[in-house]
Amino acid sequence: MIFRLAKSNRNCNLNYFNMKSDISALRNEYSKSTLSDSELSSDPFVQFDQWFKEAINSDQIEPNAMIVGTVDQYDQPTQRTVLLKDYGKEGFVFYTNYKSRKGTQLENNPKINLLFPWYHLQRQVIISGTVTKVSKEDSESYFHSRPRGSQLSAFVSNQSEEIPSRKEIESRLQKAEEDFKDKEIPLPDNWGGYLVTPSSFEFWQGRENRLHDRFFFERENEHWKISRLAP
């Protein structure tokens, strides 16, 4: 029995290393576009707007999906995917439960990182900055623009809390559907939006042979310092 177990483990290890070898062979060349100094806008918000519209008009799935990075009380970075819901010269807006894991972390440390992974366009944008809560009026307006099912889900889910089973959350949903039948669903006390005010942007365009184009914008007072970074 001991011999068989050891042999089985050895085979598992061999399969693992074979799998690693297969992954290492995965490779795509990036040749869809370029980003030159002359093409780059001097305003990172304008550049983002241009790329975002191109992402919307492409085959990119969920072009407004962004990976949101925060830091916990142990200085451990954590990430999750969230949907961008508004943007402009003031910054970038998303909505969540303020008592969720990310909400609690942002309450303790308002620094944040956003990553837009537009794989289909062989592009990514990284934005770093700080957050502030949007007004209750703005949160309420957006909340009531959501599908009713999404409103109910936000009302019954204390996001990130431990629950005994899916049945528990489904029971809460059923009760809420009954309680609010033919009624407006109120904005939950702990639900709302964050405005991300950027301190830096990085625009990354994939290029052949991994010689990618990378431009870094860093805020200096009321201006943006632009640097080209090595790929």
Which residue in 10, 148, 210, 228 is the catalytic one? 210
Query: What does the angle CA 127 – CA 197 – CA 228 come to, to the nearest 5 degrees?
Result: 35
Secondary structure class of 178 (helix, strand, coil) = helix
- 210 catalytic? Reply is yes
Residue 39 phi/psi, 5-degree rounding, is -80, -25
Rg of the Cα atoms in the chain: 22
Whole-angstrom Cα distance, residue 112 to residue 129? 6
Q: Which long-range CB contacts under 8 A does 207-210 form with residues at least 24 apart?
A: 207/30, 207/31, 207/34, 207/231, 208/29, 208/30, 208/31, 209/29, 210/30
- In Å, how far from its chain's centre is CA 168? 28
Whole-angstrom Cα distance, residue 79 to residue 69? 4
Burial label, 206 (beta-carbon count in 10 A; 0-12, 13-18, 19+): buried
Burial label, 133 (beta-carbon count in 10 A; 0-12, 13-18, 19+): middle
Residue 183 has a CB neighbour count (10 Å cut-off) of: 7
Q: Which residues are catalytic?
A: 210
